Amino acid sequence: MTKELVIYFSVYGTAKIVAEEIAKQTGADIREIVPAEPYDGNRDHYSSLLRRAQKEHDTNARPEIAESLPVVDYDRIYIGYPMWCYTFPMIIYTLFDEYDFSGKTIIPFNTHMGSRDGGTYSAIQELAPEAEVLAGLPVEMRDSERGPAAPVEKWLSSLPV
């Protein structure tokens, strides 16, 4: 039997909403990617978050993940994140640096404000060349907040078993 895990990184909660919906519809286990140095989740401080994200991107930083993730125990892993600076947050690079996804099936999803996946699904294949990367699901941030049940269901039904 295939064991499934949903792992996600979310600051404003939109990727978390999608992650929870995927876990609900698939019965997968779910775990959050928790940064060792928390990000400010107050949307009123967006410019501060943007400056930090841009600095991390510009310096090729690898923010530390505070808690280990049980990647080795699973066959199919859904990986979710918000889009920052037209790519995924640098902590996602940390994830791929620290964990071996060889032989796993990776199924990406993300939230965005117009950039869709920004090429991150192809980047994941490059970061995990020994994994199978399936078609991802980009969800516009507002659609995530309204409830992503229908698009998640449609997407999941399009994926190979």
Distance CA 136, CA 139 (A): 10
**Cβ of 15: how many Cβ atoms within 10 Å?**
27
Sign of CA dihedral 50, 113, 77, 119: negative
Average pLDDT of the chain, as a whole number = 97
Sign of CA dihedral 123, 25, 77, 131: negative
What's the rounded mean pLDDT across residues 57-78? 97
- Residue 43 to residues 11, 48, 112, Cα–Cα distance (Å): 9, 10, 15
CB contact set of 26 (below 8 Å; sequence gap of 6+): 4, 6, 78, 156
CA 50 to chain centre: 18
What's the rounded mean pLDDT across residues 78-89? 95
CA 91 to chain centre: 10
The torsion angles phi and psi of 75, rounded to 5 degrees, stand at -95, -45
Please provide the CATH number assigned to the domain covering 4-158.
3.40.50.360
CB contact set of 51 (below 8 Å; sequence gap of 6+): none
Residue percentage of the chain with pLDDT more than 90: 98
Residue range 110-158, pLDDT digits in tens: 999 999 999 999 999 999 999 999 999 999 999 999 999 999 999 999 9
Residue range 5-26, pLDDT digits in tens: 999 999 999 999 999 999 999 9
pTM (2 d.p.): 0.97
84's tokens:
């920052």
Distance CA 13, CA 61 (A): 23
Please report the pLDDT score of residue 50 as a whole number. Answer: 94
